[in-house]
A = this chain, B = another copy of it.
């Protein structure tokens, strides 16, 4: 228990959920084969389209972000053809693992952790391999707090016959992502990031080329995750399997809040909180994880001699705050080497100042030389700009 701090979840997902959403989820259960549920579902689905900046369907799937991304990967690939999978972190590697599990042949572009991919590399790979069926890319690689230029990548992929499947899990609702205008074929996100909801829902936006692919091919063998089933139900404003009714109610309320604030404003807020955090980290002499920092999460390397588990334990125990550590993968071992702070969803300047104060205090306690007040002053200065 912390004396001076309220509890805060400052991890890049799950994120804190606003009270009006929590209250909505506390409403009595309604059955999902009713007009009452269908009205909510329809409203939520329309809200999702606005959030995805698309006129195409956005499917709502029970499960995690991984559930939804895997569903897109396996439903959309043409059997016997290749996938181009780009990775620069844990989640890029996960989507490669998915196709490995199903025995899909892959062209893998692996960039160093913390770097963004160069769209020219993708263009070249597509030219060299005309039989590529899908391209998988992570917009905001949560493990390395790195943003890749999805707009440029979509432009390149649109010139091929391959479909672009974008992991927008820590991007949609936080960073500018324009599904239709940029030509993203498939855009996936999860409920526990910028969507201001607990974990439990994933969302898959399907553009025209993706829908055509679903109609014309079979994808890989799968039952529950076959997007054909979800799309068919969606067209009747329905769901193929029992949906998480309470989460859907909550998501509907969260989407209305986001619409009231304005998506462009949310992008500005996320960018400001990220800029404030980068300013504070830099002022404390920390080195950022990424050469292309994402605005949805900021990561920094620990100074020498800081023990990750002790440090984050102290942040948790003394400041009632959950922040994230690093992750291990094939491309790098960042477990114990970095920590990460969230800027998505229901998080504000006050939370960010509290996080900067907590991180500064525990770095000082661990022996790092920082003048007390440095981090919050730098953050407040950046926020005021």
Residues of A bordering B, CB below 8 Å: 1, 3-6, 8, 19, 260-261, 265, 268-269, 272-273, 346, 348-351, 353-354, 357, 360-361, 364, 372-381, 383-384
Contact A3–B268 (Cβ < 8 Å): yes
**Chain B neighbourhood of A360, CB < 8 A:** 380
Contact B353–A357 (Cβ < 8 Å): yes
Contacts known (A353-B353, A383-B357, A384-B372); A269 close to B4, Cβ less than 8 A: yes
Contact A269–B3 (Cβ < 8 Å): yes
Q: Among B261, B350, B373, which residue has its beta carbon within 8 angstroms of that of A378? A: B373
Contact A8–B350 (Cβ < 8 Å): yes
- A-B pairs with beta carbons under 8 Å apart, 5 shown: A3-B268, A19-B19, A353-B357, A376-B376, A377-B377
Contacts known (A269-B4, A348-B5); A372 close to B361, Cβ less than 8 A: no
Contacts known (A265-B3, A376-B377, A380-B376); A354 close to B361, Cβ less than 8 A: no
Contact A6–B348 (Cβ < 8 Å): yes
| Distance between Cα atoms of A1 and B258 in the complex (Å) | 12
Q: How far is the CB of A26 from chain B (nearest CB, A)?
A: 8
Q: Among B261, B354, B372, B384, which residue has its beta carbon within 8 angstroms of that of A349? A: B354
Contact A350–B6 (Cβ < 8 Å): yes
**Chain B neighbourhood of A272, CB < 8 A:** 3-4
| Distance between Cα atoms of A236 and B344 in the complex (Å) | 53
Q: How far is the CB of A270 from chain B (nearest CB, A)?
A: 10
**Chain B neighbourhood of A4, CB < 8 A:** 269, 272-273, 348-349, 383
Apart from A3-B261, A353-B353, list 18 A-B contacts with CB within 8 A: A3-B268, A3-B269, A4-B269, A4-B273, A4-B348, A4-B349, A4-B383, A5-B350, A6-B346, A6-B351, A348-B354, A350-B353, A350-B357, A357-B380, A372-B381, A372-B384, A373-B376, A373-B381
